[in-house]
Structure 1
C-alpha cells in the first residue's frame, strides 16, 4: 500500500496502530525534536517501515531512537515494551540485550555493513518476564539526507516455534533410533540407490556377523560382498523402484561366519522409506534369525519323509468305509493283501468274514472305541480265499458329519505277516517323532489329505489349556480369535483344495484368556504319484515382533507427516518472502517517478538559469534516475519470474524469435547486427517468460559486441536424450531440447562462467557498458522455472555461447 503524507506535520498518514501512535506522540521532548525538523530520509524510511507487512524496527539518530511497525508489534508480547519504547533511546528500551545488539549496530553504523543472522537467541522482556526468543533478522544502514549513516533498519522474523519444533523432531528421531536399537528384531535402514547402511541395531549386527564400523555408512553390498549373487540386490532394487513391500520366511542366505560361508535362515521384510516429498529415499529391513527353527522343521520333515518311506515300503492298502451305507472302497494293494484280483469286489461283509473268529472281538472293540475317539487301530489275522493266514494291521480315522456323528472311516491295511516282529521298532520310531515334536516351542500339527487335523504336539495343549478330548470335540479353530476365523478357514480351505502351502497370521487364545499373534504355515506331503498324503504344519509366536512392527510403522508415519507439514510451512514462508520482494520493488517506483517528474520540470523551466556545474550535476541526476528505473524494472521482472503462475504451453520458438526481432528492431539496426536462426523446435514452455529470456540474451550480445566488427548472433536447437548431450547433470533417459545462442562479441574469461548468472554481478564497469547486472540472473531464473539447465562459455575478444537444456515434457 502507498503511505500518504501530511501536509502540515510531515508525518505519515496510515500505517495502522503504530502510524497513529507516531502521529500522536509529542516528539518535541525527544532528541529528534519536532517532526517538522526531521530529515526527509527519516520520513521516507518511516513510510517504508509502516507500509511493510513484514516485521521492521528502526533505530535513528545519536540516541538510536526506537520506531517499529504493526507487524513487529506482536513480538513485544502483551505485557512488555509496547508502546512505551516508541521514541525511547535504544539503550533504555533494550537494557537486557543491549550488550548483544549494540556491537552489531556498531558494525552497521561504523562500516555501513549489512548483517544477517538466522535463528539467533536474543532473550527479551515481554509478557512480564525475560523470555528466550529466537530470531532470523538483518541489520541494514539507514542513511540521512546527506548520505551518511543515521540509523539501523531491522527486518526480522521470530523463529522461536520453528527452532523448538526442530529440536522436538531431533528428539523424536533420537527416540526412534533408541527404540530400534532396543528392539528384539534385527532392524536396519539403507539410504539411497547404493543402499548405504544408516541404522543397524545390535541384533542386525549379530545376524550379519559384523561390527558397526564394518558396515555403518557404507553400501551394504560392499560391506557384505558375500550377498552379491544371492538375489538380495534384485529384491532391494524392486522395493526401491516400485515401493512394493517384500516379505520372506525362512529365506536361506549365505553369510560369512568365522571366515566361512554359513547358511542362515531368515524371516524378514523390506519396506520402502519416503522423504518429505513422498519420494523413496531408502529401505528399512526387519528380520529374525530362524535358523534353529528351520533346522528343527527340517528334522521333522526328514522324520516325516522317513515315515512316508516306511509306509510305502510297508506296501499299505487303503480303504474308505462309509459307516451308514456299509460301502467299502479298497485300494489295489488292499485287494492283494486279501488275496483278491483287482477286478473282484471287496465289500464290508466279506472283509469282516475273512477275519479270524477269535479276532472278531478285537475288531469290534476297536470300532466301538473309534466312534468315541475317532481313531481306528487294531491288528488281527485273516484267511485268504486260498486259506492262507495273514497278519494285518488296520488303521483308520473316523470322520464326523455336519451333525457330529461318525460318517466314514479312512484308513490303511498293512500286511504285517512277515514284519510283525518289527512292530515294536516302528512304534519306537513313532514315539521318537512325537517326542521331537513335543520338545519344540512351536505348535506342531498334522492333517490328513482332506485337511482334517489329526495330531497336535504338547505345546498346543500347554498353550491352550485344552485337553486332547476337548480339541477333538471343539476343533483347532476354537482357539482362533473370532475376527481371524473366517480368514483362517478360507485360507486353509484354499490350500487344501489347491495343494499350495498354507501361510497365515492369526491370534490364538491362551489358557489365561489373552490372545497372541502366531504365524502358521503348513506344507503338503506328496507321494510318488503327486498325491497329498498329509499336511504338516507349525505355528510360531510372533506377537512381540508384530506389536513392535506396528508401533514402528506408526512412529514412521507420524514422523513422515510431521516432516511433510514442515516442508509445507517452509514453502508458504518462501512464497510470502517472494511477494514481499515484489511489492517492495514496486513501491520504490513512486518516489522515483517524482524525481523524474520534477527533473523534467527543471529541465523545461530552470535549466538555463543553472550554472555549468549545476547543469553537470543535473545531467548526472537524470542519468542516475534512469539507471534506478532500469534497476527497478529488472528487479520487478526478476520477481515475476519467481511468483508468477507457471502455465506451460506448446510454443513454436521460431515465432518467439520473430517477436524478439521486432522488439529489438532499432537496437539491431543501430549495431548493424545480424541475427540468424535455424529451424527451431516447438517446446512446452511459459511463453512470456521464454520471450523475455531470448530478448535478454540477444540484448546481452548487442551490449557486449566488439567495436571492430559487426555483431553476428546465431541461434540453433536440437532434440536429444540426456545421454547424447555434453552435460553430466542431465538425466540419461530424458529427452531434452538443446538451445544454443552464440555471438562474436567481446566474450569473457571462462572462470566467470558461473558468476555471470548471479544477481547484480558485472564483469565490466558501468562507464563502459550500461546495465543493472540482473539480465542474466533473470535468464537463469526462467531456465530454473522450466526445470532446465543453462551453461555459458566464452573467450575474450572472440565471443560467448549460451547452452540451454530444457526437458521436452514438463
Structure 2
C-alpha cells in the first residue's frame, strides 16, 4: 500500500499515524485524495486537539477520533478497528440512542448537549456501564450543508457512580444528581463589570452576551440585587478569601418570571502578578432540578408504580442466577391472571405462542452481547385468547461479565397490532377500490416521491406498469406543462397545502387532454405529513362544454342588455301612466262628481225620483273609481319610490296612525293597544302606510255587535330561532304582530289575501278595492322581510311581519 503524506494528518499523534497508514480505498469513504476540504479541515482540528473528539462523516457516518478520545475505547475493544468503520457497525450497542441524535443534528443543523448520559459501550472485552457528557455539532461541507457530526465528549462515569448507587434489589431506578459542566464568568474591578461569560452562565442568567458584557453585574442582572450577594462579592474582592455556596437560594429570571433557583457557586479572587485583586472569577451550577428531585425522593417509587399502572406498563426484576422474579401486579393481568397470582418465569414462558418462542431466545442472545433486551410476541392466555406483548429490558453484568440481573417492562400491544392489521386491510381495500375507479389515483411519500398508481393511470396512458417509472411519471404530462407541474407540486409538499393543478396528459391514442389533479396531505395527530393521496380527472369534455357555454352566455348577455333597455323604456312609460292616473284621470272624475252634485241640488220638481237614483249611482261609482286610482298610485309608489332607510321610532308612527282613525275609533268604541314598539331602521313613510292599512283593515272588518280591539306588539329574535324559514338566519329580526277581534277569514285565504284586487267580502258589506294588503306585502318585501296572515272565520285575524335589521 502506497504511503500518502497529507498535511492535515501532521502532529496527529498515534491516530494521525493510523489514519495516514490506513488503506482508505477499501472503506466507503474512498481514497484520501478524494476527501472534501471540509473533512480535511475538520480532521486537522480534531487530530491537533487535546480534548476527546470523535467524528461521524458522510452518509455512512464513517468513524474518526483523536488521541485524547483513544483511552475511552479501553483495551480489547473497538480500537483501532472502529477507525474508518460505519457508525452503525462500530456502535451497535448504543446505535438506537445516538442515531436519532445524529439525524437531528444533520437535519436541523443545530448542536445538542447531553450531560452525564448513560451509554454502555463494548470495551475491555465486555459491555461496560459508561456515562458521558458530550456535545454533537454539525460539520458543514463546501455547499454549507451538514455532512458530518463532531462529537466533543468527556467520560464522567466515576463521578456519576459516586453520586448515585443502585438502592435496592426491588424495582428501583438509579437517581442521578447531574453535575453539569460549570458555568463561568469573570467580573472586573470594584463595580464587578462582566468581562468574560460563557454560554452556560448566560443560560443561568437568561441573558444574551451583548446584554451583560462590559456592564456591572447588578446593572445587567437587577433581579439579583438585595439578596446578600453584594456583601459576599465585596468580601472576596477586599480579602481574597474564597466563598463557596451549596444550593444557595437565589431569585433569578426564568421565562420572564422571577422564581426561586438553587445554585452551587464559588467566588474566587482574581489576582494579578503583584498579588493585587483585580476581579472575581465566578463558577456556578444550577442545581434546582436536583434539589427538587431530592425533596420528592420519598414518594418516587409510589409515583413510578402509579405511572406504570396508568400507562398500563408492567415492570419486572429477574435475578438470573436464582431465576427469582419480582413484578408489578399488572403483569399478571397482562398474561390473563388475577393480580394476586404468583407466577414464575417458567409459567410465563409457557404462555408464549409456540411459533414465537424463538423470538425470545434470539432476543436473549442479543441482550447477552448488548445488554439490551427487547422483543414482541404473541401469548396465549388461560382462556385461550391470543394477545400481543412488547418487552423491553436490560441485563446487568458483574465484573467478570457474568449476567446477574434483568430489569424491564412489558406492555399489552394487542390493540396496536389489531390497528396495524386493520390498517393493512384498509390499504388493501384502498388499492382494490382505487383500481376499480375510472379516475386516476396515485400516492406519494411525505417528501413528494410518487410510490403508487392505480390501473386507470396505465390504462389511460396505454402503458404497462413496468413502462411507467414512479420517478419518471412526468413522461405522460405535456412537455409545456411539466415545469409548472413540478413547481406547484413541490410548493404543496413544502407547505402542506392541497395540490390543485390543471395540466395535459397524453392519452393512449397520442392525444393530449386536459386533466385536473388534486392531492391532499394525510397527517398524524401532531400535524406531521405521512403521505399524499391524489387523483387526476379528465376534464377535457367539461372544458369544451364550459367554453361553449361561455359563448352562449355571452350571446345571451347581449340579448339581455337589449331587453333591459326595453324594460327601462317600459318603466318610463309606466311612470307616465302614473302621472296620467294621478292627474289626467282624476280631473274628469272631479268634474263628474261636481256636476252630478249640482244636478242633485236642483229643485225636486225638475228631477224625477228615477233620475235621483241614477245620480246617486254616478256619485258612488265615481267615488269608487277615485279610491281605486289612489290605491293603484299608492301601490305603484310603494314599488318604485326611493328606499331610504332611517332609524325610526315606531311608537310615534303608531300614535300618528291611531290619530288618523280617531273619529272611526270613537264611533265604534274601538281600542288600539300597542306595547312599546321601539326603534327600527325602516323606510318611514312606507312603514306608516303599512300600519295605516293594517289598523284600517281591523277597524273596517270589525264585528257589528262587538267593539273592535286591536293589539300591536314587537320583539327581536335571531333568525335561526324563528318558527319560519328566513333568508338571513344569522341576523336579528324585528318581529311585528298586529292582532284584532274582527270577522276574520278562512285559513285557505292566508296567502291569497295579499293578492291585488283580492276581496273576501262583497262591496255592499265592506267598501274597498282589495289593494290595501297587497300594498302591505310590497312594503314588507321592500324591507327584505316576510309577512304571514293567520285567521279563522269569525275569530279575528293576526298579521306577523319579520324585518331583518340592517
For Structure 1 versus Structure 2, the TM-score category normalised by the shorter chain is 0.3 to 0.5
- Give the TM-score taking structure 2 as reference length: 0.38
Could you say which structure has the larger radius of gyration? 2
